[in-house]
Amino acid sequence: MKRVVGIAYDERGAGGVPVVCLHGIGGDTTSFQPQLDGLAGRRVITWNMPGYGGSEAIEPVTFAGLADKLAAFLAALGLSSVHLVGQSIGGMLALEMAFRFPDRLASLALIATTSAFGGRDDSFKDRFIAARLKPLDEGKTLADLASDFVPEIVGPIATEAVIQAAIKSMAAVPEDTYRAIIRCLVTFNRRADIESLTIPTCLIAGEHDQNAPAKTMMRMAAKIPDAEYHEIKGAGHLINLEAGEQTNAILRNFYNKQRSLT
């Protein structure tokens, strides 16, 4: 594990515009292990979001603050342009970066994510936060939550090895970090902005994903100028882990298209 500006990260490969991967709420650098191992011929970097896996926490946890930290991380690595890949809340952060620092992004890949947190009123958000945090308030640990939660969000193609790896990642999330990121999640809303995106964008949905349903991602893709949309059959929410080879094939083709246009 490497570290710069308080961020712990892993990387593989070299060559081309770097691919930078942003994990979800229950993830870490290993959430993109298939991409670290399988996107040969490219430099692939996967970070631990602030508060995760040895990365310094930020206070308060906001999308603006996370985007600023990611921008500082990219600058510290000397990266002026990257292919940004985000899964779940990592996809939301990728979208936030696209609007705050568009000149830093060569492309955007959004996996199992949405343009806004579901629910348009505060009462829904309050109920969501209460439901997610209630088990912790009652004395359960992140390991307890992970064992219950992960099997529910994957699709039928997920192997036992994938499920156990995802449980291990979520179990390692500090409780304070989890609580803060859940509260941050419900504030995200770029629904009205996506029609103005000018960055090449690829969306990847899972057939069985209930958190970012395929139909929702398809509608989002239709609003983003010239976006491409892919749905992976049999996959749930952890698409790039469950279907690593298929995800990598989609990303390689997407990046090759960008290279042919430059």
Query: Domain containing 13 — which CATH number?
Result: 3.40.50.1820
Does position 228 have pLDDT exceeding 90, yes or no?
Answer: yes
Does position 171 have pLDDT exceeding 90, yes or no?
Answer: yes
Average pLDDT for 66-89: 98
pLDDT digits (tens, 9 = 90+) for 237-256: 999 999 999 999 999 999 99
Average pLDDT for 15-39: 96
Does position 153 have pLDDT exceeding 80, yes or no?
Answer: yes
More confidently predicted of 120 and 209: 209
Contacts of 169 (CB under 8 A, 6+ apart): 23, 26, 27, 28, 30, 31, 146
Average pLDDT for 7-23: 96
Domain that holds residue 177: 2-260
Does position 183 have pLDDT exceeding 60, yes or no?
Answer: yes
Q: How many domains does the chain have?
A: 1
pLDDT digits (tens, 9 = 90+) for 88-121: 999 999 999 999 999 999 999 999 999 999 766 7
Does position 260 have pLDDT exceeding 60, yes or no?
Answer: no
* pLDDT score recorded for residue 160: 98
C-alpha of 164 from chain center? 19
pLDDT digits (tens, 9 = 90+) for 188-205: 999 999 999 999 999 999
* pLDDT score recorded for residue 262: 41
